[in-house]
Amino acid sequence: MSFKFDPNRPIYLQIIEEIKKRTVRGQYLVGTQLPSVREMARAMGVNPNTMARAYMELERESFISSRRGQGSFICDDPRRLDAERRRLAEAARGQFVSEIGDLGLDAKQIEELLAPIRGELNHDRD
């Protein structure tokens, strides 16, 4: 099953986000070689040109670095990944707050809604 894109937004931007997410989740290890443009293109079901553009952008942001003849490697600066992680986390929080915000919940309902979050997250880490 190839990756599912929202056709209303540029595909190469969605690819960039996806690769960043996978990286901060540990699916691509720091300093390790990323799948080649062609392989990743095939895996996500997109045109290799589109994937090449995504890799180019990621390199421009210094999220990956491509070495001629060797391939592309995840940035090995931990602060860079941490910043990305924080950015993704805050984006998720922002969307959550905006979806919840105009639901008309009263204070008690908000408490009940938020209470399990910490627990679920800690449990996930056990």
Which positions lie near DNA, rule CB under 7 A? Answer: 1, 10-13, 34, 36-39, 46-50, 52-53, 55-56, 59, 66-72
Q: Report which of 71, 63, 79, 72 is spatially closest to residue 16, judged by C-alpha positions.
A: 63
Based on CB atoms, which residue is closest to a copy of itself, 67 or 97? Answer: 97
| DSSP symbol at 45 | T
Residue 117 Cα to chain centre, angstroms: 21
Q: What are residue 74's DSSP bridge partners? A: 64
Based on CB atoms, which residue is closest to a copy of itself, 8 or 70? Answer: 8
Based on CB atoms, which residue is closest to DNA, 37 or 75? Answer: 37
Q: Report which of 50, 62, 59 is spatially closest to residue 10, judged by C-alpha positions.
A: 50
Q: Which of 35, 71, 80, 85 binds a copy of itself (CB under 8 A)?
A: 85
17 binds a copy of itself (CB under 8 A): no
Q: Which of 1, 2, 26, 70 binds a copy of itself (CB under 8 A)?
A: 26
Q: What are residue 110's DSSP bridge partners? A: none
Q: At what angle do helices 37-44 and 48-60 cross, to 10 degrees?
A: 120
29 binds a copy of itself (CB under 8 A): no
Based on CB atoms, which residue is closest to DNA, 69 or 101? Answer: 69
CB of 37 to DNA, least distance (A): 4
126 binds a copy of itself (CB under 8 A): no
Q: What are residue 60's DSSP bridge partners? A: none
